[in-house]
Amino acid sequence: MPTPTDPEVPVIEFVDVEKRFGDNIVLKDLNFSVRRGERVTLIGPSGSGKTTILRLVMTLEELTGGYIFVDGEPLTHREKDGKRVAVSPKEQKKLRTRIGMVFQQFNLFPNMTVLENIVEAPIHVLGQSKAEATAKAHSLLEQVGLPDKADQHPLSLSGGQQQRVAIARALAMDPEILLLDEVTSALDPEVVGDVLNILRKVADTTNVTMLIVTHEMSFARDVSHKVMMFDGGRVIEEGSPEKIFSDPSQERTKQFLSAVLRDA
Ligand SMILES: Nc1ncnc2c1ncn2[C@@H]1O[C@H](COP(=O)(O)OP(=O)(O)OP(=O)(O)O)[C@@H](O)[C@H]1O
């Protein structure tokens, strides 16, 4: 039996996942796994459930069926005596600290400064000292090209700058898993490249596992090890970006790609 520290254990594993909103079944019998350090891009038509998958991993949505494992440990439910039993809030919180997410709409706290946004979770969730968290926050602000914005409030920054702060905030937790949900969709086209370059660098210089939802084909091609195409709540095709993007074998795939991706 593999243990959670076994390198063969997937970092993220979906087993027979079902997600419904009322009568709307968005994901059904969804099975996939992501290995440590792997960067996986999810693509699919609007409404196919890509964002929902990320939100389930972040425990922002309630899982209505099946199981999600992080490092081999159940994130929301485990099977016990043939029954599906919820894990304790404490167990869930422990796993959650390993996961960071960057959202389309930045989701920064508007009443806090940039620095306060970044140090909040490291201090209150990880128990870091204020000095340690602050030093790391300044270094991350340097890394995302905003060394002089620590004392500003998010709403005084441009969208691209706010997204860079959001990336710094996610990285401040040293996440094992980074979830990127259409992080450039709300940005002016001229700043999209800057934000993606920061993420390319994160991909190049860390071993963080990434689950990415994006319409930016070049970015997906550059950073992903694997692309998974979703439709009807299931994976319909998966493979290397070269395979999926450059040589779509079926006409259906070709049409599908031209509908959902843009080359930026
Ligand atoms: N909170 C919610 N309440 C009810 N239905 C929801 C909720 N969130 C998502 N849905 C529904 O779930 C389905 C999948 O939505 P989701 O946002 O995951 O799709 P997506 O593939 O990310 O789409 P897009 O590419 O347009 O962002 C949609 O039908 C959506 O209406």
Q: Is 254 among the domain residues? A: no
Q: Is 128 among the domain residues? A: yes
Mutate to test the pocket of ligand 1, among 21, 101, 185, 214 (most ligand atoms within 8 A of CB): 21
Domain range enclosing 163: 107-174
Q: Is 183 among the domain residues? A: no
Instruction: Specify the residue with its C-alpha closest to ligand 1, atom 3.
Output: 21
> Please, what is the average pLDDT of the chain?
91
CA of 49 to the centre of ligand 1 (A): 6
Give the confidence band of 4 by pLDDT, cuts at 50, 70, 90. very low
What's the distance, CA 20 to chain centroid?
Answer: 20
Write the single-letter amino acid at 14. Answer: F
Q: Is 122 among the domain residues? A: yes
Mean pLDDT along residues 1-5: 47
Mutate to test the pocket of ligand 1, among 18, 26, 43, 62 (most ligand atoms within 8 A of CB): 26
For residue range 198-246, what is the model confidence (pLDDT) as tens digits? 999 999 999 999 999 998 888 999 999 999 998 888 898 899 998 888 7
Instruction: Specify the residue with its C-alpha closest to ligand 1, atom 4.
Output: 21
Q: Is 161 among the domain residues? A: yes
Give 226's strand partners. Answer: 40
Higher-pLDDT residue of 255, 85: 85
Cα separation, 157 vs 101, in Å, equals 20
Q: Is 121 among the domain residues? A: yes
CA of 7 to the centre of ligand 1 (A): 33
The answer to whether the pTM exceeds 0.80 is yes
Instruction: Specify the residue with its C-alpha closest to ligand 1, atom 5.
Output: 21
pLDDT at 244: 85
Cα separation, 198 vs 26, in Å, equals 32
Is the pLDDT score of 195 beyond 60? yes
Give 18's strand partners. Answer: 65
Cα separation, 72 vs 127, in Å, equals 25
Q: Is 245 among the domain residues? A: no
pLDDT at 2: 43
CA of 22 to the centre of ligand 1 (A): 12
Kindly state the tokens that stand for 257: 């790609």
The interface predicted TM-score (ipTM) is 0.96
For residue range 121-167, what is the model confidence (pLDDT) as tens digits? 999 999 999 999 999 999 999 999 999 999 999 999 999 999 999 99
Q: Kindly list the protein residues whose Cβ atom lies closer than 6 A to any atom of ligand 1.
A: 21, 24, 26, 44, 46-52
Instruction: Specify the residue with its C-alpha closest to ligand 1, atom 16.
Output: 49
Q: Is 218 among the domain residues? A: no
Share of the chain above pLDDT 90, in %: 80
User: Which atom, in ligand 1's list, is nearest to the CA of 52?
Assistant: 18
For residue range 25-69, what is the model confidence (pLDDT) as tens digits? 999 999 999 999 999 999 988 888 999 999 999 999 999 999 999
Domain count, the chain: 1
Check: CB of residue 109 under 8 Å from CB of residue 128.
Answer: no
